[in-house]
């Protein structure tokens, strides 16, 4: 075949995840903790234009559908609900692999407004992998009922990301959400996530490792995130990189790190 992931980029990435592209519409991933209303958001955005199947090689259910906004189409992928992207389960692995290797044009992280703190953990992980993140603070009606106030502008400023409050059951906030999805996916709005900073020792180790990682993976994934995962001894990520990038050199980088 001779085609590598790096040479063919997005279309190969999508083929690996079995995503059929009709009009090369932008791909939008929906991520979030379990029970935050992802599927309700997904159903409202795609209506009847959806179908389900399994993720390639996995018994994890996948729903995908089409959002039409201002006459343009977007392919939405409802990822399994996960608390983290550390690939500790098949669900986490699917979500992590798709966000990292599937190259979505935007990733919407649906969070529960009534327990924001716990949910933000996933947002911080997603924004280490990709810049193109939109935070959807869902269940805002429930939060209001519980007298929880959320300063959406402050949250947006702190994260460096667009943040939209929604109530998926009633459709509140959906106009802004779809406008923002369109703007990010089509490059009219560029989120600038504020990176999470770790202790001095970790930051120094990342700074040493990052250039080597960048040499191996090029611009295919965030070198900082991969370096952090390697420092954490994440062998599953190395396997995934071999699968998706054919990056055999990654194994030797990994050995050096673990030595
Ligand atoms: N009040 C209120 N209920 C909501 C809202 N969004 C979703 N729900 C309800 O919350 C429950 C869970 O919603 P789902 O859409 O299934 O959540 P999910 O994130 O897809 O859940 P998993 O796929 O199981 O992780 C359902 O009963 C929804 O009707 C909202 O904004 N407000
Ligand atoms: Mg769901």
Considering the domain architecture, whether residues 101 and 211 belong to the same structural domain is answered as no
- DSSP H or E segment with residue 140: helix 140-145
Mean pLDDT value across residues 53-80:
89
CA dist 6 and 68 (Å) reads 30
- Indicate whether residue 113 lines ligand 1 (CB < 6 A): no
Measured in Å, residue 252 CA sits from the centre of ligand 1 at 44
- For the stretch 21-40, pLDDT in tens is 565 789 999 999 999 999 99
Q: Is the pLDDT at 4 greater than 50, yes or no?
A: no
Q: Which residue has the tokens 């802004």?
A: 176
Query: Do 30 and 122 fall within a single domain?
Result: yes
Same domain, 215 and 91: no
Co-location of 102 and 55 in the same domain: yes
Q: Is 4 in the pocket of ligand 1 (CB under 6 A)?
A: no
Last residue of a domain, one of 157, 185, 213: 185
Indicate the helix (H) or strand (E) that contains 30.
Answer: strand 27-32
Residue range(s) defining the domain that contains residue 105: 5-185
Residue 195 counted as domain residue:
no
Q: Mean pLDDT of all residues in the chain?
A: 88
Q: Is residue 88 part of a domain?
A: yes
Question: How many folded domains does the chain comprise?
Answer: 2
Distances, alpha carbon 33 to alpha carbons 63, 119, 160, 204, 220, in Å: 16, 7, 21, 31, 26
Question: Residue 192 falls within a domain, yes or no?
Answer: no
* Residue among 45, 109, 169 whose CB has most ligand 1 atoms within 8 A, to mutate: 169
Do 145 and 215 belong together in one domain?
A: no
- 118 shares a domain with 240: no
- Strand 27-32: give its sheet, edge to edge: 50-54, 61-69, 72-78, 27-32, 106-112, 133-138, 163-165
Predicted local distance difference test score (pLDDT) of residue 5: 47
Task: Please give the pLDDT value at position 259.
Answer: 61
Q: In the predicted model, what is the mean pLDDT of residues 231-249? A: 78
Q: Reply yes or no on whether the pLDDT at 86 is more than 60.
A: yes
How many Å apart are CA 58 and CA 151, to the nearest integer?
Answer: 39
Closest CA to 132 of 18, 244, 237, 28: 28
């Amino acid at each position: 075949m001779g085609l590598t992931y790096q040479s063919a980029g997005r279309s190969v990435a999508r083929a690996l995840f079995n995503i059929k592209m009709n009009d090369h519409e932008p791909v939008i991933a929906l991520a979030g903790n379990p029970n935050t209303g992802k599927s309700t958001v997904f159903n409202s955005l795609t209506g009847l234009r959806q179908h389900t199947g399994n993720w390639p090689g996995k018994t994890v259910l996948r729903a995908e559908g089409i959002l039409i906004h201002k006459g343009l189409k977007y392919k939405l992928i409802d990822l399994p609900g996960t608390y983290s992207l550390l690939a500790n389960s098949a669900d986490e692995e699917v979500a992590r692999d798709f966000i990292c290797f599937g190259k979505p044009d935007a990733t919407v992280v649906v969070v529960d407004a009534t327990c924001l703190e716990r949910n933000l953990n996933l947002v911080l992980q997603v924004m280490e992998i990709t810049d193109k993140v939109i935070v959807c603070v869902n269940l805002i009606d429930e939060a209001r009922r519980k007298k929880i106030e959320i300063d959406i502008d402050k949250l947006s400023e702190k994260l460096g990301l667009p943040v939209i409050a929604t109530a998926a059951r009633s459709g509140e906030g959906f106009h802004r959400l779809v406008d923002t999805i369109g703007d990010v996916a089509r490059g009219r709005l560029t989120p600038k996530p504020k990176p999470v900073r770790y202790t001095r020792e970790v930051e120094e180790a990342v700074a040493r490792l990052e250039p080597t990682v960048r040499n191996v993976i090029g611009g295919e994934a965030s070198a900082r995130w991969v370096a952090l995962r390697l420092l954490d001894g994440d062998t599953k990520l190395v396997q995934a990189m071999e699968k998706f990038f054919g990056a055999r050199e990654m194994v030797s980088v990994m050995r050096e790190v673990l030595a």
